[in-house]
Amino acid sequence: MKARWNQILALALLCMVGHVGAAIADAPPQKLPSALLMFPYVDSGGGVETRIELVNLSGGPVNLQCFFVNSESELCNEIGFFLTLTPYQPMAWVASEGVSDEGNATAAPPFFGTGELKCAVMPAQPTTDFYNTIQGRATVYHDDGETVSYSAVGFLRLRDGEYAGALQLNNGDYTQCPDKLHFDVLTDQPATPSSELILLPCTEDLLLQIPTMLNVQLLITNEFEQTFSTSYSIKCFSRRAFSDIADSLTRAAAGTETAHISVRGSQGPLIGLVIDSVPFQAINGVAGNEPSLQGGRSATVTFPQP
């Protein structure tokens, strides 16, 4: 089984190599201290929980404005709150419990359901050094031991200026959203749970609470370089099983054990995550699969003015 799994990983790596050069060329930079974080997947309740982690990488205190958007209603209801991180402080909490720290007068309320989280830096001074200070990570775990862990998508502040409610992700004030998302995945096998694709628009109006709707275009390429296409619409948040997206994401239809998925929003950019369904010995597990990011497209995230 171990040898077979190594073969599958090798095939996935080969599939990925052809796309990495293009994806990295002008992708929004990641793994850097950022001014805005997007967590594309938070889940809490019904035997599922999420641990959210933030860290202040600067030598000064950092104030954050955050919103959790629950996708389980037609209105995509949101919960807003403010956090303060002391110099070099890591901070973590469980979504259903929230967090309260009397030492620096900060608190996050408990929230439940499936959705996404955004946190923006409100700098003490209007320079990029005071903006680009935070990183984040989330771990979603189930009672049965299934765990999905991933890094938040980070956006840099590019020039000095006062914090305003409308965050322009346009390569002027902040780095852009990616134009395309690239995932290298295992195709679905018979009699095993399906992998899932989570997508949400980069543009979001948290002030007027207007859900963003757009069409998603997917190109699916198997190991023989055969390409299949499909599309569907999303509203503020989408979580779909591969089996509900396209037959070409099943092993029987694709004819190969791995596939490459290219994702693009037709009316605006997206961020997302794949939850891989991973066969391992006699059981099936899950794993977070973060995309490679390609190119850039402008978007706006509108927060209520604090």
Distance CA 80, CA 63 (A): 14
Q: Which of 138, 163, 188 corresponds to the end of one domain? A: 163
For residue 169, being part of any structural domain is answered with no
Task: Give pLDDT, residue 106.
Answer: 82
Q: Which of 141, 163, 185 corresponds to the end of one domain? A: 163
In a shared domain, residues 19 and 112 = no
In a shared domain, residues 7 and 82 = no
Average pLDDT over residues 125-140: 97
pLDDT in tens, 200-242: 999 999 998 888 889 999 999 999 999 999 999 999 899 999 9
H helix and E strand count, the chain: 4, 23
Distance CA 155, CA 296 (A): 12
The residue range of the domain holding 235 is: 2-28+177-302
In a shared domain, residues 286 and 181 = yes
In a shared domain, residues 68 and 10 = no
In a shared domain, residues 138 and 239 = no
For residue 111, being part of any structural domain is answered with yes
In a shared domain, residues 23 and 46 = no
- Rg of the chain over all Cα atoms, to the nearest angstrom: 19
Query: Considering only CA atoms, which of 186, 197, 202, 238 is closest in space to residue 11?
Result: 186
For residue 43, being part of any structural domain is answered with yes
In a shared domain, residues 181 and 291 = yes
Calculate the alpha carbon distances from 277 to 10, 210, 280 in Å: 17, 33, 10
Contact 50/94 with Cβ under 8 angstroms?
Answer: yes
Q: Which of 133, 163, 193 corresponds to the end of one domain? A: 163
- Does 24 have pLDDT greater than 60? no
For residue 168, being part of any structural domain is answered with no
Residue 49 DSSP one-character state = E
Least confident of 23-27, 134-138, 165-169, 240-244: 23-27
- Does 2 have pLDDT greater than 70? no
- Does 97 have pLDDT greater than 90? yes
In a shared domain, residues 50 and 129 = yes
Contact 170/298 with Cβ under 8 angstroms?
Answer: yes
Distance CA 261, CA 230 (A): 11
Calculate the alpha carbon distances from 258 to 95, 184, 221, 222 in Å: 34, 7, 9, 7
Token pair of 161 as six digits: 């200026």
Residue type, 150: Y
Average pLDDT over residues 33-39: 97
Average pLDDT over residues 278-289: 84
For residue 171, being part of any structural domain is answered with no
Task: Give pLDDT, residue 72.
Answer: 73
Distance CA 168, CA 98 (A): 29
Q: What is the CATH number of the domain that holds 237?
A: 2.60.290.11
For residue 170, being part of any structural domain is answered with no
In a shared domain, residues 52 and 137 = yes
In a shared domain, residues 124 and 207 = no
- Does 181 have pLDDT greater than 90? yes
Distance CA 44, CA 93 (A): 12
For residue 118, being part of any structural domain is answered with yes
In a shared domain, residues 44 and 159 = yes
Token pair of 285 as six digits: 């597990």
In a shared domain, residues 62 and 136 = yes
Work out how many domains the chain is built from and give that number. 2
Scored b (16 or more CB within 10 A) or e, 75-108 reads: ebbbbebebbbeeebebebebeeebebeeeebeb
Which stretches of 88-233 are DSSP H helices?
A: 128-131
- Does 130 have pLDDT greater than 90? yes
Average pLDDT over residues 11-38: 62
Average pLDDT over residues 92-112: 88
